[in-house]
């Protein structure tokens, strides 16, 4: 069963890469060389494996967020906005906590970021259960509101005058998350993996996990047996936004040290590629996210060594989604609630 | 032109690509398909049109090419979601991402980091009347494409409302099984709706690069495609309402420039927020009016019986 699922997902990836190869051929690149270089740079070098793991962490967090929302039958398409909300919150407070012990600063940043991301997800969730407004549209709009309010804040109230490009004040390298001994892998990567395991345990061995599944897959039945469906939907959606925001926090306290005004995280749509490559199995999220992490890292190194424009990699991710949708095998994507009504709304 | 005249004129111009895309999306929604790939299809249209004109084609040829690429993607979307029962939401997200990636990739491969501008002069057929105060420039000093867009809006609105094809279209989205029972091939209706609808989306994208700004940059739609989906829903898939909402969006977007002209001290980033926040507020206020076809998003599978 597991092997069959993995083989089918692999087939999707192969399909996307073959289509990508056609695009490369048509634009005058040798696809074989490009793909071999991608494998060499990401899998055959120690630094490549480490950087791919680092690049995996935000993709994995975004995918967990997508998974949590899909568990209660909701589409969180505003993950990128929640990431930005989390990053801005962390980037706003981090420079003011210079006197605090570092671990306390990290904790404060994480808490602030999670709250910001959760609030960002709360609005669409409340609109869904209270007013029956479809969450797909509202989450997307919230993302663009997040982008423009972030650049408004960063170019105004949060601007660091020492930086040329508008950004929040940078966190010293010494005060960022430490790396595992003699590697480039920062602790944030472990946090993402631990988050994944936690969600897996919650979903598998607790009543909350079971009931949230019922609330998502059979809302009317859940309502009959006394499950507060709306509360599950809102809670899960808020948790989804909070987990997504951790990816933004990581960006501030581990990767870049600050948020730039024009930062547009590329993880929200990729998260759905991961979600369905993993066939909505929590354990599958890690290998699927690692694959996309390799593509993200490849996009940063391959342009220099092969001359392929970096935009090729989002194209590959899009093709993976297209193939996933087509080769749906009827089961991996939830048939879903009717988009026209919300059963939860009373 | 004074500030208000400039604002109204730029709102009318900005509304044209958006309303075409939103009406194209609305046609698909009416037939029961939610296509979240509008952003990607608009970019494909914008890029294709731009390449055609840059290579020496006329603006009209560029717009036709933009429409054709939209129709091709629409055909693929329609066939995949009917014959193969592909999930509409996942496929739409894939189209959005792949469209953005493909246009960005092809643009960078061909033009590198340069930014060619087009000298796409378009006639302004009614400019003799532009002297009328306040609304003159907005209504009469527009490029011919804007009038074509409005003709399409009115034509499609009448066709959807009064013609038999419009009725069949709605039936396919509301109750595909009953429609099939009445002797209509629902899958065919949906494929045709996807082709026509995405053709309009592609045309809207072409209008963005060729009519509104005269250049192409990767990711230039900055969410307009998603706004189109939102106003297609809020406008209840009715072309005239959608056009009205598109003008509201144009006003919100244009107000940034207008306020700067009046020397009021507001940060520009705050003004960029207006269109998105405005659409969000609109969705919230009119949330109860959002009417979606009952079978929206569900693959129509003749063999299954759960609808």
Q: What percent of chain A has pLDDT over 70?
A: 93
CB-CB contact of B68 with B200 (8 Å): no
CA-only gyration radius of chain A, Å: 20
- Top pLDDT among B281 and B289 is at B281
Helices A229-250/A207-217 angle, 10° precision: 110
pLDDT of residue A157: 75
A178 in Cβ contact with A189 (< 8 Å): no
**pLDDT band, residue B307 (cuts 50/70/90):** very low
In three-state secondary structure terms, A260 is: strand
* Banded pLDDT at A342 (limits 50, 70, 90): very low
Q: Mean pLDDT over residues B80-89, rounded?
A: 86
Q: What angle do CA B299, B67, B164 make, to 5 degrees?
A: 55
Domains of chain A: 2-326 (1.10.3470)
Chain A residues in contact with B104 by the CB 8 A cut-off are: 309, 311, 314-315
Provide, as residue numbers in chain B, all residues whose Cβ is less than 8 Å from the Cβ of A137. Answer: 226, 229-230, 233, 283
Contacts of A309 in chain B (CB under 8 A): 104-105, 108-109
Of A170-184, B64-78, B221-235, the least confident: A170-184
**A131: chain B residues, CB-CB within 8 Å:** 284, 287-288
- In angstroms, the CA B301 to CA B304 distance is 6
Whether residue B223 and residue A261 make contact (CB cut-off 8 A), yes or no, is no
A140-164 per-position pLDDT tens digit: 889 999 998 998 888 877 777 776 7
Burial class from Cβ neighbours inside 10 Å (0-12, 13-18, 19+) for residue B273 reads buried
Nearest CA in chain B to A316: B98
Q: Confidence band (pLDDT; 50, 70, 90) for B303?
A: low
Kindly tell me if the per-residue pLDDT of A24 is higher than 90.
yes
Q: Which of B219, B195, B20 is nearest to B103 (CA)?
A: B219
pLDDT for B1 beyond 80: no
At residue B295, the pLDDT reads 75
Tell me the C-alpha distance between A250 and B97, whole Å: 24
- Alpha helices by DSSP H, listed for A27-134, are 31-43, 46-71, 79-93, 102-131
User: Is residue B83 very low, low, confident or very high in pLDDT (cuts 50, 70, 90)?
Assistant: confident
pTM, entire model = 0.90
Residues of B in contact with A125 (CB under 8 A): none
Contact A311 B104 (CB under 8 A): yes
Res B161: pLDDT: 82
What CATH class is the domain B3-112+140-289?
Answer: mainly alpha
Query: Which residue in A318, A319, A330 has the most chain B C-beta atoms within 10 A of its own C-beta, making it the best mutation to test that interface?
Result: A318
Asked if B89 and A333 come within 8 Å (Cβ–Cβ), the reply is: yes
**pLDDT tens across B166-210, in order?**
888 888 888 888 888 888 888 899 999 999 999 999 999 999 999
Q: Which of B96, B109, B222 sits opposite A269 (nearest CB)?
A: B96
ipTM over 0.85: yes
Element (H, E) at B107: helix B88-111
Rounded to whole angstroms, what are the CA distances from B303 to A164, B177, B190, B306? 62, 10, 17, 10
pLDDT band at B301 (very low <50, low <70, confident <90, very high): low
From the list B218, B203, B204, B210, the residue with the least C-alpha distance to B52 is: B210
Distance (Å, whole) CA B271 – CA B260 = 10
Kindly provide the b/e burial profile for residues A242-262, where b requires at least 16 CB atoms within 10 angstroms of the residue's own CB: bbbbbbbbbbbbbbbbbbbbe
Residue A200: count other Cβ atoms within 10 Å of its Cβ.
18
Check residue A341 and give its pLDDT.
46
Q: Which pLDDT score, from 0 to 100, does residue A332 have?
A: 52
Residue of B nearest to A336 (CA): B298
CA distance A177 to chain B (A): 31
Residues A292, A327, A312, CA angle at the centre, nearest 5°?
A: 35
The closest alpha carbon to B66, from B54, B52, B80, belongs to: B52
Residue of A nearest to B225 (CA): A140
Q: Is the pLDDT of residue B229 over 60?
A: yes
Residues B12-22: tens digit of each pLDDT = 888 899 999 99
Query: Is the predicted pLDDT of residue A343 greater than 70, yes or no?
Result: no
pLDDT in tens, A160-194: 777 677 888 888 778 888 888 888 888 889 999 99
Rounded to 10°, the helix B144-162/B164-174 angle is 70
Q: Give me the DSSP letters along A198-236.
A: HHHHHHHHSHHHHHHHHHHH-HHHHHHTT--HHHHHHHH
Angle at B244 between CA B240 and CA B249, to 5 degrees: 140
Q: What is the mean pLDDT of chain B?
A: 85
Question: How many residues comprise chain A?
Answer: 346
φ and ψ of A183, to 5 deg = -135, 175
> Which residue in chain A has the smallest CA separation from B236?
A340
pLDDT in tens, A290-315: 999 999 999 999 988 888 999 999 99
Tokens linked to A321: 């989604």
- Cβ-based contacts of A338 with chain B (< 8 Å): 294-298
Q: Which residues are CB-contacts of B145 (< 8 A; sequence separation ≥ 6)?
A: B16, B59, B63, B122, B207, B211
B97 touching chain A per CB within 8 A: yes
Q: pLDDT tens, A111-126?
A: 999 999 999 999 999 9
* Residue B159 CB-half CA count within 13 A: 10
Are A246 and A86 in contact by the 8 Å Cβ rule? The answer is yes
In chain B, residues with a C-beta closer than 8 Å to the C-beta of A280 are none
In terms of Cα–Cα distance, which of B265, B12, B279 is closest to B130? B12
CB < 8 Å from A in window 235-274 of B: 267, 269-270, 272-273
pLDDT band at B134 (very low <50, low <70, confident <90, very high): low
């Amino acid at each position: 069963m597991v092997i069959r699922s993995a083989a089918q997902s692999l087939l999707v990836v192969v399909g996307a890469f073959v289509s990508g190869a056609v695009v490369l051929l048509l634009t005058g690149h040798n696809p074989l060389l490009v793909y071999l270089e991608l494998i060499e740079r990401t899998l055959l070098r120690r630094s490549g494996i480490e950087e791919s793991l680092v690049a995996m962490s935000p993709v994995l967090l975004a995918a967990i967020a997508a998974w949590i929302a899909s568990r209660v039958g909701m589409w969180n398409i505003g993950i990128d906005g929640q990431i930005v909300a989390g990053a801005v919150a962390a980037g706003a407070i981090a420079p003011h906590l210079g006197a605090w012990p570092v671990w306390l600063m990290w904790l404060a940043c994480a808490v602030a970021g999670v709250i910001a991301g959760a609030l960002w997800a709360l609005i669409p969730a409340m609109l869904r259960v209270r007013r029956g407004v479809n969450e797909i549209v509202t989450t997307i709009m919230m993302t663009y509101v997040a982008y423009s309010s972030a650049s408004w804040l960063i170019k105004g109230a949060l601007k660091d005058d020492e930086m040329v490009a508008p950004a929040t004040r940078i966190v010293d390298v010494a005060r960022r998350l430490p790396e595992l001994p003699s590697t480039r892998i920062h602790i944030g990567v472990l946090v993402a993996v631990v988050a994944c395991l936690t969600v897996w345990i919650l979903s598998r061995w607790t009543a909350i996990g079971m009931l949230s599944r019922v609330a998502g897959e059979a809302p009317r039945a859940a309502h009959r047996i006394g499950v507060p469906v709306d509360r599950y939907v809102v809670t899960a959606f808020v948790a989804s936004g909070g987990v997504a925001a951790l990816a933004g926090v990581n960006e501030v306290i581990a990767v870049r040290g600050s948020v730039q005004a024009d930062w547009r995280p590329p993880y929200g749509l990729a998260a759905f590629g991961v979600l369905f490559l993993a066939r909505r199995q929590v354990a599958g999220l890690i290998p699927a996210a690692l694959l996309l992490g390799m593509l993200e890292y490849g996009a940063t190194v391959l342009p220099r060594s092969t001359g392929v424009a970096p935009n090729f990699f989002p194209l590959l991710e899009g093709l993976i989604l297209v193939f996933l949708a087509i080769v749906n095998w009827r089961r991996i994507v939830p048939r879903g609630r009717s988009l026209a009504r919300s059963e939860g709304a009373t | 032109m004074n500030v208000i005249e400039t604002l109204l004129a730029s709102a009318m111009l900005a509304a044209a690509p958006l309303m075409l895309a939103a009406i194209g999306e609305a046609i698909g929604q009416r037939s029961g398909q939610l296509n979240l790939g509008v952003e990607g299809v608009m970019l494909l249209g914008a890029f294709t049109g731009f390449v055609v004109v840059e290579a020496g084609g006329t603006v009209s040829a560029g717009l036709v090419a933009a429409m054709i690429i939209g129709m091709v993607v629409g055909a693929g979307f329609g066939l995949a979601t009917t014959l193969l029962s592909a999930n509409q939401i996942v496929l739409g997200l894939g189209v959005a991402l792949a469209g953005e990636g493909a246009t960005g990739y092809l643009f960078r491969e061909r033009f590198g980091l340069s930014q060619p501008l087009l000298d796409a002069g378009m006639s302004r057929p009614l400019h003799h009347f532009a002297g009328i105060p306040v609304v003159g420039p907005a209504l009469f000093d527009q490029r011919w494409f804007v009038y074509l867009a409005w003709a399409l809006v009115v034509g499609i609105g009448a066709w959807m409302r009064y013609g038999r094809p419009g009725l069949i279209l709605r039936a396919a989205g509301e109750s595909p099984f009953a429609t099939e029972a009445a002797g209509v091939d629902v899958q065919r209706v949906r494929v045709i709706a996807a082709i026509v609808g995405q053709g309009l989306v592609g045309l809207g994208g072409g209008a963005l690069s060729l009519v509104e700004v005269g250049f192409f940059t990767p990711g230039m739609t900055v969410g307009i495609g998603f706004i189109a989906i939102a106003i297609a829903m809020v406008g209840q898939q009715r072309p005239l309402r959608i056009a009205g909402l598109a003008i509201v969006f144009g006003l919100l977007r244009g107000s940034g420039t207008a306020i700067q002209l009046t020397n009021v001290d507001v940060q520009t980033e705050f003004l960029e927020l207006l269109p998105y926040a405005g659409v969000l507020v609109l969705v919230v206020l009119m949330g109860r009016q959002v009417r979606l076809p009952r079978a929206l998003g569900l693959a129509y599978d003749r063999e299954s019986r759960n609808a």
